[in-house]
Amino acid sequence: MAITINELETGTGLVVDGQLYFITELTHVKPGKGSAFVRVRLKNLRTDAVLERTFRTAETLENADLERRRMQFTYVTGDEYHFMDQSTFEDTIIAKSLLGDGVKYLQDNMEVETILYNDQVVKVDVPNFIIATIIEADPGLKGDSSRAGYKPAKIDTGASIQVPLFIGQGETVKVDTRTGIYVERVKK
């Protein structure tokens, strides 16, 4: 389905050069001389690559009807991850490759944001922050909080992160899933 430049808005899905993109930013420009145009910043749904394009007002583009749905992680079988659609309660199977680095931070019953195109999941976004328990870490020593330093630790999802020296096994921490970095200690 074709869409005109005047119908574009942030979050709109487009097919550009055979790839799925969504608009993250757009600016309407009306120069003093010549016709108006739209400067658009697009993000590839599969690779997260950013593309900047300029479109004239007379152009039409191919619209991609993207649907956002909340899904809840239920269980894993091999390389298939099962999610329950929160609106229809149907089981949806998502391949490990589609989850990317987010697979390291999946917790039981975690809700994720999915983007569907033609009833197929094309992108999965795990929450930006999770609360996790340290299951493996070298013991902290008295006075470790006085100097800066990090040590490796394993959280309950199986991911390895770097934590400050004073964090020990059994403690609860907040982790940024975009970078895999320790944010803060969480009191229960």
- Amino acid symbol at 110: M
Output the CA torsion 14→41→57→123 (10° steps). 10
Other C-beta atoms closer than 10 Å to the C-beta of 182 total: 20
pLDDT over 60 (residue 146): no
Percentage, residues of the chain above pLDDT 90: 37
Query: Does residue 103 contact residue 96 with C-beta atoms inside 8 Å?
Result: yes
**What domains can you pick out in the chain, each with its CATH number?**
2-64 (2.30.30.30), 66-125 (2.40.50.140), 129-186 (2.40.50.140)
Taking only the tens place, the pLDDT of each residue in 26-74 is: 998 888 888 888 899 999 988 888 999 998 888 888 888 888 999 999 9
